[in-house]
């Protein structure tokens, strides 16, 4: 816990998700061969990217923070020797410590390697969090509101969770399983899915289906939550049910951009997009409006505002109590869902009616055939 008048400090590790991210910050990279840019990024040192100012809770409390760049693309996290990757993340944490941060958040793939943050946290002298509890809270809140808006009755719905054995997917599945009619857990490892299905039966009293095939697993799902560590698109236009909602939590996104063009009858929303209280300046363009952040960043800010310098979300067994707790703390400080974003654009209300109309037309035409 910290003194009430103190300005607590946090840091957040970031990395580019794709070439678009790289060239937004470094326009000259757009004219270079992607292989060369990849190589240069692999050599670049971990460094302080920007200072984050102006975050102010509705309680009046302020915090100060920094973005620290671990300049790897998602594929680097798989290609490069694991110990080197872990070492770069620890370098980022040390920069956070030197800046005076009391807590550091692990963004993107920095929270996936090393047992979802547990390994790097052992070398840290400050608190470390993946931000996944608040990501789960906001993805669930957004998915349920969006489903209602396009007329899905949750009690009667089939929900599919892709990446169900992961940190975010597991908690989403455990929360939603008692709210829906049917659930399918999807990932590549069948063994891990079977284990989770057993846990869900034991703890939540519900039988669930499992699948290692995304296409068949989501074919008749009304709600799809996707939170995987895939580096490419895995949810394709032809696999989605008319009138369904897909919450894409993954970064980089799992849903193919073709869905936007080919499936006007499906609602795709980005998970974990949050409005930050205060007159915020990230001093760095990560592709969102100035007062909007990802939920994982927001969790680090909320914990800093609370003076809760603890390893809040680490590992792949996030407890639902933590999800509820961080949601409450977020509300207390004035953090909220930043509306609905779909394929990098905020959705206006007319869109929900347009999707409903396109879905009923699609259903009617498939019945005629």
> In the 8-state DSSP scheme, what is residue 257?
T
Q: Would you say how long the chain is, in residues?
A: 369
Closer to ligand NAP at the Cβ: 188 or 332? 188
Neighbours of 119 (CB within 10 A): 16
Under DSSP, the state recorded for 109 is G
Q: Which of 230, 285, 282 shows the shortest CA–CA distance to 255? A: 230
Binding mask of the shown chain, residues 295 to 324, with x at each position contacting ligand NAP by CB under 6 A: xx-------------------x--------
The one among 93, 103, 104, 112 contacting ligand NAP by CB under 6 A: 112
| Of residues 108 and 243, the one with the C-beta less far from ligand NAP | 108
* Residue 132 binding ligand NAP, by CB under 6 A: yes
Cα–Cα distance between 171 and 129 in angstroms, integer? 16
Angle at 152 (CA atoms; ends 147, 156), nearest 5 degrees: 125
Counting contacts by CB under 6 A, is residue 169 touching ligand NAP? yes
Interface pick for ligand NAP out of 127, 172, 187, 235 (rule CB under 6 A) = 187
Does 173 interact with ligand NAP (rule: CB under 6 A)?
no
Asked whether the beta carbons of 147 and 223 are under 8 A apart, the reply is yes
- List, as one string, the DSSP characters of 45-79: PPEEEEEEEEEE-TTS-EEEEEEEE----HHHHHH
DSSP string, 266-328: SEEEES-EEEPSEEEE-SS--SS-TTEEEHHHHHHHHHHHHT--S--S-SS---HHHHHHHHH
Q: In angstroms, how far is the first alpha carbon of the chain from the final one?
A: 64
Q: In this chain, which residue has its C-beta nearest to ligand NAP?
A: 166
Q: H-helix or E-strand containing 254?
A: none
Q: Which stretch binds ligand NAP (CB under 6 A): 43-51, 78-86, 96-104, 228-236?
A: 228-236
Segment near ligand NAP (CB under 6 A), from 31-39, 82-90, 229-237, 349-357? 229-237
**57-65, 97-105, 248-256, 300-308 -> range binding ligand NAP (CB under 6 A):** 248-256
Minimum gap (Å) between residue 347 Cβ and ligand NAP: 17
Residue number with CB closer to ligand NAP (134 or 309): 134
Please compute Rg for the chain using Cα positions.
Answer: 20
Interacting residue with ligand NAP among 48, 179, 182, 192 (CB under 6 A): 192
- Applying the rule CB under 6 A, the residues between 45 and 64 that interact with ligand NAP are none
Least distance to ligand NAP from the beta carbon of 244, Å? 18
Stretch touching ligand NAP by CB under 6 A, among 34-42, 47-55, 106-114, 335-343 = 106-114
Binding ligand NAP (rule: CB under 6 A), the pick from 168, 183, 259, 326 is 168
Nearest distance from residue 103's CB to ligand NAP, in Å? 16
Helix (H, G, I), strand (E, B) or coil at 160: strand
The answer to whether residue 290 forms part of the interface with ligand NAP (CB under 6 A) is: no
Give me the helix-helix angle, 295-306 and 132-149, nearest 10°: 120
**Nearest-approach distance from CB 86 to ligand NAP, in angstroms:** 15
Instruction: Using CB under 6 A, list all residues that contact ligand NAP.
Output: 108, 111-112, 116, 131-132, 135, 162-169, 187-189, 192, 227-230, 234, 249-251, 271-272, 294-296, 316
């Amino acid at each position: 816990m910290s003194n009430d008048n103190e300005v607590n400090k946090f840091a957040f590790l970031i990395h580019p998700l794709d070439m678009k991210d790289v060239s937004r910050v470094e326009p000259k990279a757009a004219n270079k061969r992607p292989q060369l840019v990849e190589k240069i990024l692999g050599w670049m040192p971990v460094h302080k990217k920007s200072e984050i100012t102006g975050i102010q809770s509705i309680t009046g409390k302020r915090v100060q923070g920094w973005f620290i760049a671990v300049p790897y693309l998602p594929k680097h996290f798989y290609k490069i020797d694991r110990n080197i990757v872990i070492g770069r993340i620890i370098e980022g944490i040390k920069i956070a410590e030197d800046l005076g941060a009391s807590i550091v958040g692990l963004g993107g793939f920095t929270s996936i390697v090393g047992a979802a943050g547990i390994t790097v946290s052992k070398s840290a002298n400050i608190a470390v969090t993946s931000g996944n509890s608040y990501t789960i809270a906001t993805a669930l809140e957004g998915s349920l509101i969006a489903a209602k808006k396009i007329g899905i009755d949750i009690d009667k719905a089939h929900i599919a969770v892709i990446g169900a054995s992961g940190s975010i997917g597991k908690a989403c599945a455990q929360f939603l399983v008692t709210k829906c009619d049917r659930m399918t857990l999807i990932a590549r490892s069948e063994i891990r899915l079977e284990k989770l299905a057993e846990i869900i039966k034991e703890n939540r009293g519900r039988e669930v289906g499992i699948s290692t095939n995304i296409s068949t697993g989501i074919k008749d799902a009304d709600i799809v939550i996707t939170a995987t560590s895939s580096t490419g698109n895995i949810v394709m236009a032809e696999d989605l049910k008319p009138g369904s909602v897909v919450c894409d939590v993954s970064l980089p996104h799992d849903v193919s951009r073709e869905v936007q063009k080919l499936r006007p009858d499906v609602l795709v929303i980005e998970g974990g997009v949050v409005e930050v209280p205060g007159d915020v300046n990230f001093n760095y363009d990560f592709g969102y409006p100035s007062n909007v952040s990802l939920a994982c960043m927001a969790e680090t800010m909320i914990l800093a505002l609370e003076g809760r310098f603890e390893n809040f979300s680490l590992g792949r067994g996030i407890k639902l109590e933590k999800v509820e707790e961080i949601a409450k703390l977020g509300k207390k400080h004035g953090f909220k869902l930043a509306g609905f974003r779909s394929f990098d654009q905020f959705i206006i209300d007319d869109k929900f009616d347009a999707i409903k109309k396109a879905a009923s037309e699609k259903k009617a035409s498939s019945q005629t055939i």
